[in-house]
Homo-oligomer: A and B are copies of this chain.
């Protein structure tokens, strides 16, 4: 693998600020690449020991981390940031202890590296094995919460990958200290200290360096809103795993149990409206609309949800807002929902195909045939039958942890655990075998 141009390629005697930032980025990325080579062959014990040292160091450094975080929080307040976002940004000593516990939990998970995927002896006697290996250097671009800095670093380290972290500039002081504490914890161990890296700089330009670092960075995982993810997909030459945009639909089939449908819809919409697996759309079969829609509108109203409906939904409630084309495609992440009456299961599928984001769709039905058809036709990362969309989650799926929820089809789809942070390698052992 040949890395990008070296610093000596820059001929100008005086560097601009941009050039300087790029130099600094390449220096860090090359150290990350170097660290990846040292980290990849390490056994589980070395990685777990490093994770425990990181956890201990975070707890020990909690006062220092809180102090740095206070600078971020004060700046956010000055900028008029909402209390909700301030809460997401804030680190307290108990929160840091919880973050450290999460690191220890990652240490307790099985190591995906070295796991055999295939294994066989070929007819000619060659032994063929396909084994999991780390991806290498994983770039992660994320917003807001500084706990992601530690979570992502821990998952990468456990899977033998170097993390190049690019957090929100709003959390820059917190992230800087968190990464320094992690790097210091790695000193004197087998895992190279460079295995956790913060992308230098907070400008938009610094994200671009990461996106163009093909050959130095093996994969980029943007975690955040649709606009961040779209811009990364558009500009990156490093392979990208799209995560986290969820316009999830609940389809209430003609054969649905109305009580069950109400329970699932309310849970999917209101249990935690700000997350990607919350429902943003409800589609109701025309045959059950009279029985379901009035009760659903009552329940949603009671939960403080604004319904954006088509004419047939609106005929059941005066307070239903007229839905526009934008509503069908919206990822509200708030107490809003788009609602539509459809004439058939296939019309529901067509609606989802047109407007969905391929994250999670649910059908509520007592009909085995309807469930089978919905599962077969809906092309989403997860399809729920008689269950809330909120279950699409690495913890809920039993993966122990997740680095994000992929909504693309390549490499990983749905919640990504540790195995999704690996690639594979074929190892072929012969006794002087040649092809005839």
Residue ranges of A at the interface with B (Cβ–Cβ < 8 Å): 1-2, 37, 40-41, 120, 122-123, 126, 128, 130, 133, 135-136, 214, 218-219, 233-234, 237, 239-241, 257, 260, 263-264, 266-268, 271, 329, 353-358, 371, 375-377, 379-388, 390-392, 396-398, 408-411, 413-415, 423-435
With a cutoff of 8 Å between Cβ atoms, the chain B residues found around residue A123 in the complex are: 398
**In the complex, the 6 A-B pairs of residues with the closest C-beta atoms, listed nearest first:** A387-B430, A267-B434, A409-B423, A411-B411, A260-B432, A387-B433
- Name the contact of A264 in the complex, choosing from B398, B408, B432 (C-beta under 8 A): B432
With a cutoff of 8 Å between Cβ atoms, the chain B residues found around residue A396 in the complex are: 122, 435
Q: Are the CB atoms of B128 and A271 closer together than 8 Å? A: no
- Name the contact of A414 in the complex, choosing from B135, B354, B424 (C-beta under 8 A): B424
With a cutoff of 8 Å between Cβ atoms, the chain B residues found around residue A126 in the complex are: 387, 391
Q: Are the CB atoms of B271 and A434 closer together than 8 Å? A: yes
With a cutoff of 8 Å between Cβ atoms, the chain B residues found around residue A354 in the complex are: 1-2
Task: Tell me the bound Cα distance from A237 to B408 in angstroms.
Answer: 13
With a cutoff of 8 Å between Cβ atoms, the chain B residues found around residue A358 in the complex are: 1
Q: A214-B233, A434-B267, A435-B390 are in contact. Are A426 and B122 (CB under 8 A)?
A: no
How many identical chains are in the complex? 2
Q: Are the CB atoms of B136 and A409 closer together than 8 Å? A: yes
With a cutoff of 8 Å between Cβ atoms, the chain B residues found around residue A424 in the complex are: 413-414
Chain B: minimal CB distance from A422 (Å): 9
Known: A381-B425, A381-B426. 7 other contacts (CB 8 A): A120-B398, A271-B434, A380-B425, A382-B428, A385-B428, A396-B435, A413-B424
